[in-house]
Amino acid sequence: MRIFGLKNCDTCRKAVKLLDGYRFFDVRIDLIPDQILDAALQEFGDDLVNKKSTTWRNLSPDERAMPPRDLLRLHPAVMKRPLIETQEQKLYLSWSAKTQAALL
């Protein structure tokens, strides 16, 4: 299992605390592999961008208008998190009750 998020994100910390057998990737340092990012964008679309985040609020109008993939490459912290990939290549976005029920 791979978890993509930010090491200082409280939601990511909650997920990491409860999950076993994972490898954590800080998206500011490690970035998301292209195939994972493309699969996540295909599955979650614009929901992959956290429009409630401080990062989003600090973006210029031009940056907000960028395609999600380009925006996430330029500002990885704007991603809704965590993004979790299971060994079966199933993707989960956020640490919602639905995600927790599936993974715990």
Please state the domain count of the chain.
1
pLDDT digits (tens, 9 = 90+) for 34-91: 999 999 999 999 999 999 999 999 999 999 999 999 999 999 999 999 999 999 999 9
Whether 12 sits among the annotated catalytic residues: the reply is no
Domain that holds residue 33: 2-8+17-103
Spot the catalytic one: 3, 6, 9, 84: 9
pLDDT digits (tens, 9 = 90+) for 4-24: 999 999 999 999 999 999 999
Q: What's the CA gap between 73 and 37, in Å, rounded?
A: 9
Q: Give residue 90's pLDDT.
A: 97
pLDDT digits (tens, 9 = 90+) for 55-66: 999 999 999 999
58-95 residues labelled b (16+ CB within 10 A) or e (exposed): ebeeeeeebebeebbeebbbbbbbbbbbeeeeebbbbb
CATH number at residue 56: 3.40.30.10
Q: What is the pTM of this model?
A: 0.94
